[in-house]
Structure 1
């Protein structure tokens, strides 16, 4: 399939462009001392994944406070309001993947870039700055009032983009999460691009498990996607 017909690329942000797993691990290891050393990265991310899925969640990343308390109980980490609030606030410093900023600059030469995050507006403001503010349009859970994989989130964004002359068939939806993005987007008829950030790792890390859906395009980095687009459309 050609990259030429499309006008826009929509992106999941957390996990696709921003390395949330590194951000969570950095905070937990910084506050947990000796207790944290008893657990592998996979242990910590598994505890996070289960905490995030547990009943009672609120909007992300405010929900990270609740998650930290659950993770602390599960893993025997030092528990305090300061540590819990710190996990939510650590979003401000979560790193971009090494290829994200440059690849987005390359892709923006050919497409309008659209952020579609389950995060709240305050969090996207920080993450967009980390990414050097690449987006032409930004959508958060504060805008949509729904959380992916709810199809209503995608419907909201389609409607909003249509007012800017960008139609459903003009969009490539790009994401890391099979659960939150690729599966539902394919069922809705989107052209999709799966960035398999964990291609060289076991398990799903901090992302909820899901059946695998075959996307339209499949790369293991955002840089590979930019390479493929430039190979067809030039740079």
Structure 2
């Protein structure tokens, strides 16, 4: 199997293209300012990321039709309540709509522009239309995607198989491509690579972070036998390097 075998790349957005962790921590700052200097979340931000990710995943599973901005607000409320911190409606709403301010990774835009020369690009994201529109007109404005599919469009959140069936149905209907012509590209092991293996999708792991471990993307040792990605790259930029080499050989 070669990287030249595919016609389309589908991407998770937040955590893969956009720096979800840095963005979410910056958005949490008003709440973090209320914590004592020795608090775990200040000395170890990954503890907050991991806790937030567990709350978010549970909410998405229990409330598949809930908008992502409302999922974020509920997460913010949960953390605040756990710490005994009072928050305002304005503060909560700002957090829920903070997605568009989250930055792209430094390699993302250049990498996507290079990948665009060889593939159609699609986003399959666990987010709502309002928030992703801000990302597309903000940090990713230089990239023209061929399709955008959100949890709001589908009515469920990854890792639900319905999200991937929606992707494949639209891939066939809109572009005439089949599953074996698609390479799904993502950071998150539980949200993307587990269902990819279950559904027989070829995937590439963007293993950002130290040895690929992160609060939102999972730890590879916890998914032994549950994922089967064909390629592993540390970044979108590194993936673009490998693609260019494959197409030039």
Same fold (TM over 0.5): yes
Give the CA deviation at 1:66: 0.7
Unaligned runs of 5+ in 2: none
Taking the aligned partners of 2:36 and 2:233, their CA distance within structure 1 comes to: 33
Give the CA deviation at 1:155: 0.8
- C-alpha distance 36-171 of structure 1, shift in aligned 2 (>3 A): farther
8 Å CA contact retained: 1:51, 1:71? no
Is residue 113 of structure 1 aligned with residue 121 of structure 2? yes
The normalised TM-score by structure 2 is 0.86
Of residues 79, 90, 95 in structure 2, which corresponds to 1:87? Answer: 95
Taking the aligned partners of 1:99 and 1:136, their CA distance within structure 2 comes to: 20
Of residues 42, 52, 56 in structure 1, which corresponds to 2:56? Answer: 52
Give the CA deviation at 1:31: 4.5
Aligned residues: CA RMSD? 2.1
8 Å CA contact retained: 1:28, 1:36? no
Higher share in helix:
2
Give the CA deviation at 1:207: 4.3
Give the CA deviation at 1:82: 2.3
- C-alpha distance 30-224 of structure 1, shift in aligned 2 (>3 A): same
Taking the aligned partners of 1:93 and 1:232, their CA distance within structure 2 comes to: 34
The normalised TM-score by structure 1 is 0.91
Taking the aligned partners of 1:206 and 1:77, their CA distance within structure 2 comes to: 24
Match runs of 1:149-228 below 5 Å: 149-163=159-173, 164-200=175-211, 204-207=214-217, 211-212=223-224, 213-228=227-242
Give the CA deviation at 1:154: 0.7
Unaligned runs of 5+ in 1: none
Provide the aligned length of Structure 1 versus Structure 2.
234
8 Å CA contact retained: 1:191, 1:216? yes
Moved more, 52-61 or 169-178: 52-61
- C-alpha distance 7-53 of structure 1, shift in aligned 2 (>3 A): closer
Is residue 19 of structure 1 aligned with residue 19 of structure 2? yes
